[in-house]
Structures are given as structure tokens and as C-alpha cells.
Amino acid sequence: MENLFETALLFVLKWEGGYVNNKYDKGGATNYGITQNTYNNWLMSQKLPSKDIKYITRDEVKKIYYQNYWLKAGCDKMSPQFAFLAFDTAVNMGVNRVKQFMKAAAWKYPELFIKAREEKYKEFAQYGNQKIFLNGWLNRLNALKTEINNLG
């Protein structure tokens, strides 16, 4: 399972990139896809002082993604395909969204999970200026489909 997490993390980091502070992103400033708020909470849980998200280390990124997303979304208890889907969804849309999509997928149909995620992206794109992110979201989802198909 550790290997699967590593592979899924590489996929996520490819899409999340480095430091970004897009004024239209509702999450605010992020680094490797981690928000300042998430980083502050994690640092506090480790009894460490707050610091700017710009200075997050790769080791911290890995620990946060494993503890706050992989484990909290239940990826360690899922088939490889669903673990990969759930992890990327948790990072991109929040851990709670995973449960919603798992239910839509009847806990066994990855294609229905992907369809539910696609529909949610299209819904998001209807609000405010979120439409500017739709093509990127759909490109990520298409790449995710390829990744999970390669898992078998």
C-alpha cells in the first residue's frame, strides 16, 4: 500500500505544482496543493510554530498528504483503483467529497465515481469565475482515468 501511496502522490504533485496564489482560487495560497490553513493546522498538531506555506518541505508535504488525505479518506482500506481516485479527489475537492462520490459509484464502479466528479466540476464552473479552472480540472480527470486503468 505504501508503494501505491507514493505513486498516487507523484500523480497529485504533478497536478498541484509548487507555490500558487491565484486570486480566483477559493483555497487561497497553496504550495504543492496544500493551503496555508491546512499547513498551520498540521504544524500546530506537531507542536511546531506556524510558517509561510512557501517554505513547506517535501517531507512535510508527504506527511500531510498521508495523514490528512490518504488515511482520512480511507484509501488504505480500498482497492488500488479506488484508493488512487479517492486520494486525488480528497486533495482536489476535500475528503468529504470522497464519500459522496463513493456512494454515487455504489462502492464498486470507478467509472461512476469519475462521472460524479466530472458533474461536480461542471457544477462548480457555473459559479462566479470558477469556469476558468474547468479545462484544467477535466484534463486532470482524464489523466486520472488513464492512471487507474493502468492499475488494472
CB 142 within 8 A of CB 104: no
Q: What pLDDT is stored for residue 132 in this prediction?
A: 86
In the chain (152 residues long), the average pLDDT of successive 10-residue segments reads 88 91 79 94 95 96 97 95 96 93 91 94 86 90 93 72
Q: What pLDDT is stored for residue 152 in this prediction?
A: 62
Q: What pLDDT is stored for residue 128 in this prediction?
A: 76
Domain extent at residue 19? 2-151
Q: What pLDDT is stored for residue 98 in this prediction?
A: 95
- 19, β-bridge pairs: 31
CA nearest neighbour of 95 among 119, 69, 121, 114:
69
As a whole number of angstroms, the distance between CA 12 and CA 65 comes to 10
pTM reported for the whole predicted model: 0.90
CA nearest neighbour of 8 among 113, 105, 140, 147:
147
Q: Is 5 exposed, middle or buried (0-12, 13-18, 19+ CB in 10 A)?
A: buried
- Strands laid side by side in the 30-31 sheet: 19-20, 30-31, 34-35
CB 117 within 8 A of CB 88: no
As a whole number of angstroms, the distance between CA 90 and CA 84 comes to 10
Task: Return the H-helix or E-strand segment holding 30.
Answer: strand 30-31
Count of structural domains within the chain: 1
**Residue 120 sits in a domain of what CATH number?**
1.20.141.10
Q: What pLDDT is stored for residue 2 in this prediction?
A: 66
